[in-house]
Amino acid sequence: MIEAVVGAPVEFESGLAALRRASGRGPVRHLAAEVEGIRRLAAAQGLVGAAPVIRAIDSALARGERGALLQGLVVILEDALAQREPGDSSSVYAAACSVRLAG
């Protein structure tokens, strides 16, 4: 797999870029479609750390959240997608999302 020099693998870049651009103004269905694409690709690659972050983004979108909160969750998602260490890091990313959502 080809990876970006820093950050998430390149195959995630278009979805992440779309989320970054639309996080403040995009329609929910467009954002949800981007999130679903990232979810499927992450699951196919076994990136379990991304799962709780994607759930947090889904929850934020369902509540109508936009702006800084959503952008912060996208940054956490980028970190989770870049995680290549063996083991399950999902609890770490779930905790990071909880802190972010709590404000």
**Single-letter amino acid code for the residue at 90:** S
pLDDT at 39 over 90: yes
CB 61 within 8 A of CB 35: yes
Cα–Cα distance for residue pair 33/29, rounded to 1 Å? 6
Our count of domains for the chain comes to 1
Mean local confidence (pLDDT), 27-36: 86
What is the pTM for the complete model shown?
Answer: 0.82
Q: Which percentage of the chain shows pLDDT scores above 90?
A: 28
2 part of a folded domain: no
Per-residue pLDDT of 50-98, as tens digits, reads 999 999 999 998 988 888 888 999 999 999 998 866 667 788 888 888 8
Cα distances (Å, whole numbers) of residue 103 to 11, 27, 65, 70, 91: 30, 23, 13, 12, 19
Q: Which domain holds residue 83?
A: 10-102
Cα–Cα distance for residue pair 99/47, rounded to 1 Å? 21
